[in-house]
Amino acid sequence: MDSGNAAPMNSIAPPSWPWSPILYGNLSEILKETEIFRRADSLFILLDDNTEKFCFPILAPLLGNLKYTTIVIRPGEGEKQLETCQQIWKELIEGGCTRHSLLINLGGGVIGDMGGFCAAVFKRGFAQIQIPTTLLSQVDASIGNKTGIDFMHFKNIIGAFSPPEAILIDPQFLQTLPSRELVSGLAELIKHALIYDLNLWNKCLGYGKELASAEVLSSMIPQAVRIKCDVVEKDPEEKGLRKILNFGHTAGHGIESVLLEEGNPVLHGEAVAAGMIIEANISRQLGLLDEPNYLTIQTFLFDLFPKIDLSAEQIEKALVYMLQDKKNKGNSISFTLLQSPGKAVFDRMLTEPELIRLALLEYKSL
Ligand SMILES: NC(=O)c1ccc[n+]([C@@H]2O[C@H](COP(=O)([O-])OP(=O)(O)OC[C@H]3O[C@@H](n4cnc5c(N)ncnc54)[C@H](O)[C@@H]3O)[C@@H](O)[C@H]2O)c1
């Protein structure tokens, strides 16, 4: 895979990429070149309290004389649920939304996933656009057409594949992002490197903590986006290769679900970072990944991300959640594991919870 340099403005993925063009650069420049908002009979903008305050002031002046309705929800993963969808659908009905309307999802992965899902099923589907405003959503969540919500604390268990009309990525939104959120987003970028691109992994190692700086990110975002596009293009519906993107997510979602249920949530990227350490450990236990690479991954991730404290009881609960993961078959838990940095294997079915428990306990003891 060629990592290349930063993509020129507006050219990460052409309209031929599965279903949606991906445009990167300054939003005002992007919008000059597209009539995308003008095709709709009415325009709705989904925001949370933070993106209303920090991101909408960037978008609003670019809408000119277009009429629009904003729908504002509370921020956070705890809102990514059916009750909030009901609020959104109610406001769409009250605002006269038709099958020819357009929803702009201006926010992080929560807004993108939930807005995408709400649009996918409302009147059997109407158009939506993703304008991701967190690092995590710019390099991962907005790309690949997966939409959805959490249910009974199970992450993303209700959802649909639903391509947006376009994905518009402007790094200027990251300027107001709290640093903890920025670092959380690095987890998915590092994951892309670990599963698919040794060159990008070596760059990550080289930058270390500097990875989170604006100059570094402006070249890394297009590279990370291209990796995701490449994988999704080869397997849009996750029948095979796309499963490599789940690295770190089986254990990560288990941990995230337990802490969400207990009312003490961690950020998605923080859970995925923990999940990558745990799943690299499982890869090592199975003889796939060698010890030096495992230790490098573990040290690198611990330098960037906070360790998540887990009790023995929480580990058992995380295992129960992992058994419910939507990727599983029968009684076995499906993992994506690492052979080496840049090379992942998918569909590794583990029927032996002891091995997974051991990796969780080792993480706890680090
Ligand atoms: N669909 C997919 O393929 C996919 C992939 C990865 C993750 N996800 C999902 O993405 C979600 C996590 O996304 P996230 O990390 O973006 O979380 P998020 O949407 O909750 O955003 C994080 C926080 O940052 C705030 N925020 C957003 N943009 C801001 C800005 N520019 N300035 C200031 N504050 C801002 C938000 O209000 C929120 O408080 C999870 O629900 C995860 O399951 C989906």
Residues 77-110 have pLDDT tens digits of: 999 999 999 999 999 999 999 999 999 999 999 9
- Phi/psi of residue 306, nearest 5 degrees: -70, 145
- CA distances from residue 18 to 195, 235, 312 in whole angstroms, order as listed: 21, 10, 43
- Phi/psi of residue 82, nearest 5 degrees: -55, -40
Closest residue (by CA) to atom 33 of ligand 1? Answer: 177
Q: Is 146 in the pocket of ligand 1 (CB under 6 A)?
A: yes
Cβ contacts of 327 within 8 Å, gap of 6 or more: 243, 246, 250, 334
- CA distances from residue 3 to 10, 49, 70, 190, 211 in whole angstroms, order as listed: 17, 36, 38, 13, 16
Give me 242's structure tokens. 């796309």
Q: Does domain 183-365 have CATH number 1.20.1090.10?
A: yes
Q: Is the pLDDT of residue 10 over 70?
A: no
Q: Is 242 in the pocket of ligand 1 (CB under 6 A)?
A: no
Please report which confidence band the pLDDT of residue 16 belongs to, taking 50, 70 and 90 as the band edges: low
Across 119-148, average pLDDT: 96
CA of residue 267 to ligand 1 center, whole Å: 9
Single pTM value for the model: 0.91
Q: Which of 22-26, 124-128, 129-133, 198-202 has the lowest mean pLDDT?
A: 22-26
CA of residue 24 to ligand 1 center, whole Å: 18
- Dist CA 126 CA 202 (whole Å): 42
Q: Is 192 in the pocket of ligand 1 (CB under 6 A)?
A: no
CA of residue 330 to ligand 1 center, whole Å: 32
Q: Is the pLDDT of residue 44 over 90?
A: yes
Quote the pLDDT of residue 65: 87
Q: Is the pLDDT of residue 309 over 70?
A: yes
Alpha helices per DSSP H over the chain: 27-32, 49-54, 56-59, 82-94, 109-121, 135-136, 179-196, 198-207, 214-234, 249-261, 268-285, 291-304, 312-323, 353-365
Quote the pLDDT of residue 214: 76
User: DSSP labels for 140-182?
Assistant: IITSSSEEEEEETTEEEEEEEE---SEEEE-GGGGGGS-HHHH
Mean pLDDT, the chain, whole residue set:
91
Closest residue (by CA) to atom 20 of ligand 1? Answer: 76
Please report which confidence band the pLDDT of residue 3 belongs to, taking 50, 70 and 90 as the band edges: very low
Across 303-320, average pLDDT: 95
Q: Is 55 in the pocket of ligand 1 (CB under 6 A)?
A: yes
Q: Is the pLDDT of residue 27 over 50?
A: yes
Q: Is the pLDDT of residue 4 over 70?
A: no
Residue type, 75: P
- Dist CA 328 CA 248 (whole Å): 15
CA of residue 272 to ligand 1 center, whole Å: 13
Q: Is the dihedral of CA 144, 35, 37, 171 positive or negative?
A: positive
- Dist CA 174 CA 107 (whole Å): 11
Q: Which of 163-172, 177-186, 229-238, 265-274 has the lowest mean pLDDT?
A: 229-238
Closest residue (by CA) to atom 35 of ligand 1? Answer: 177
3-state secondary structure of 241: helix
Query: Is 4 or 301 the better-scoring residue by pLDDT?
Result: 301
Please report which confidence band the pLDDT of residue 75 belongs to, taking 50, 70 and 90 as the band edges: very high
What angle in degrees, to the nearest 10, is found between the helix axes of 198-207 and 179-196? Answer: 140
Q: Which CATH architecture has domain 22-176?
A: 3-Layer(aba) Sandwich (3.40)
Q: Is 150 in the pocket of ligand 1 (CB under 6 A)?
A: no
Q: Is the pLDDT of residue 212 over 80?
A: yes
- Dist CA 167 CA 143 (whole Å): 7
Where do the structural domains in the chain lie, given as residue ranges?
22-176, 183-365
- Dist CA 29 CA 6 (whole Å): 17
- Dist CA 46 CA 115 (whole Å): 7
User: DSSP labels for 264-318?
Assistant: -PPPHHHHHHHHHHHHHHHHHHTTSS-HHHHHHHHHHHHHHSPPPP--HHHHHHH
Active site residues: 124, 146, 188, 228, 238, 242, 246, 249, 253, 268
